Amino acid sequence: MARAALQRAVPPEALDWRIRGGETDLFGQITDDGAGLEALTALPVVKTVTLRASCIALLPDLLCHSDPGRFALAYRIAWRVQGNPHLLEVVTDADIARARIMVRQNREDCHKMASFLRFREEPVQQGEGQGERRRFLAWFEPQHHILERIAPFFSKRFTDMDWMILTPRGSIRWDGKELVCSPEPCEQPELDDGFGELWDTYYASTFNPARVRTKAMRREMPGRYWKNLPETRLIPQLVAGAEARVRTMAEQELQPAPAFHERLRAREQLPAEPMPDVAENLEDLAAQVRTCTACPLHCSATQAVVGEGPADARIMVVGEQPGDQEDLAGRPFVGPAGQLLHEALGEAGVDRGALYLTNAVKHFRFRLQGRRRIHQNPDAGHVAACRPWLEQEIALIRPKLIVSLGATALRALDGPGMAMSDVRGTSWTVGRGENAVRRLALAHPSWLLRLGEGAQAESERQRFVEGLTRLRDFPDQSGS
> How confident is the model over 25-77, as pLDDT tens digits?
444 444 445 566 677 777 777 778 888 888 989 999 999 999 999 999 999 99
Task: Give domain status of residue 160, yes or no.
Answer: no
pLDDT at 26: 41
- Within 10 angstroms of residue 135's Cβ, the number of other Cβ atoms is 17
Mean pLDDT for the stretch of residues 88-101 = 93
Choose among 189, 188, 202: nearest CA to 230.
202
Crossing angle, helix 70-83 and helix 53-63, to 10 degrees?
170
Task: Pick the last residue of a domain from 113, 130, 159.
Answer: 113
Q: What kind and span of H or E run contains 374?
A: strand 372-375
Task: Give domain status of residue 183, yes or no.
Answer: no
pLDDT at 273: 66
Tell me if residue 261 falls in helix, strand or coil.
helix
Residues 454 and 331 reside in one and the same domain: yes
Q: For 121-135, 357-371, 406-420, which range has the lowest pLDDT when averaged over its residues?
A: 121-135
Residues 320 and 243 reside in one and the same domain: no
* Whole-number Å distance between alpha carbons of 267 and 262: 9
pLDDT at 31: 43
Q: What is the DSSP string of 39-71?
A: HHHTSPP-------HHHHHHHHHHHTS--TTHH
At 257, the pLDDT band (50, 70, 90 cuts) reads low
Residues 286 and 345 reside in one and the same domain: yes
User: Which residue segment(s) compose the domain that 234 sits in?
Assistant: 196-249
Which residues lie closer than 8 Å to 144 by C-beta, 6 or more apart? 64, 65, 66, 105, 106, 109, 169
Task: Give domain status of residue 363, yes or no.
Answer: yes
At 478, the pLDDT band (50, 70, 90 cuts) reads very low
Residues 292 and 244 reside in one and the same domain: no
pLDDT at 227: 82
Task: Give domain status of residue 167, yes or no.
Answer: no
Residues 237 and 359 reside in one and the same domain: no
C-alpha to C-alpha distances, 396 to 286, 294, 474, nearest whole angstrom: 12, 21, 20
Residues 23 and 89 reside in one and the same domain: yes
Q: Are 226 and 121 in contact (CB under 8 A)?
A: no
pLDDT at 125: 61
Mean pLDDT for the stretch of residues 126-136 = 67
pLDDT digits (tens, 9 = 90+) for 348-392: 999 999 999 999 999 999 998 887 899 999 999 999 999 999 999
Task: Give domain status of residue 118, yes or no.
Answer: no
pLDDT at 128: 56
Task: Pick the last residue of a domain from 59, 94, 113.
Answer: 113
pLDDT at 259: 66
Higher pLDDT among residues 371 and 284, named by residue: 284
Higher pLDDT among residues 224 and 389, named by residue: 389
pLDDT at 224: 85
175 pLDDT above the threshold of 80? yes
Residues 293 and 209 reside in one and the same domain: no
Sign of the four-CA dihedral 383, 384, 389, 392: positive
Residues 382 and 451 reside in one and the same domain: yes
Residues 223 and 311 reside in one and the same domain: no
Residues 398 and 447 reside in one and the same domain: yes
Task: Give domain status of residue 139, yes or no.
Answer: no
pLDDT at 264: 66
Range among 38-52, 150-164, 241-255 with highest mean pLDDT value? 150-164
Average pLDDT over the chain reads: 86
Q: Which residues pair with 438 in a beta bridge?
A: 401, 429
Residues 18 and 79 reside in one and the same domain: yes
Q: What is the CATH number of the domain that holds 394?
A: 3.40.470.10
Task: Give domain status of residue 171, yes or no.
Answer: no
DSSP 275: P
Task: Pick the last residue of a domain from 113, 138, 162.
Answer: 113
Residues 335 and 456 reside in one and the same domain: yes
Tally of domains within the chain: 3
Mean pLDDT for the stretch of residues 455-465 = 93
pLDDT at 285: 95
At 131, the pLDDT band (50, 70, 90 cuts) reads low
Task: Give domain status of residue 190, yes or no.
Answer: no
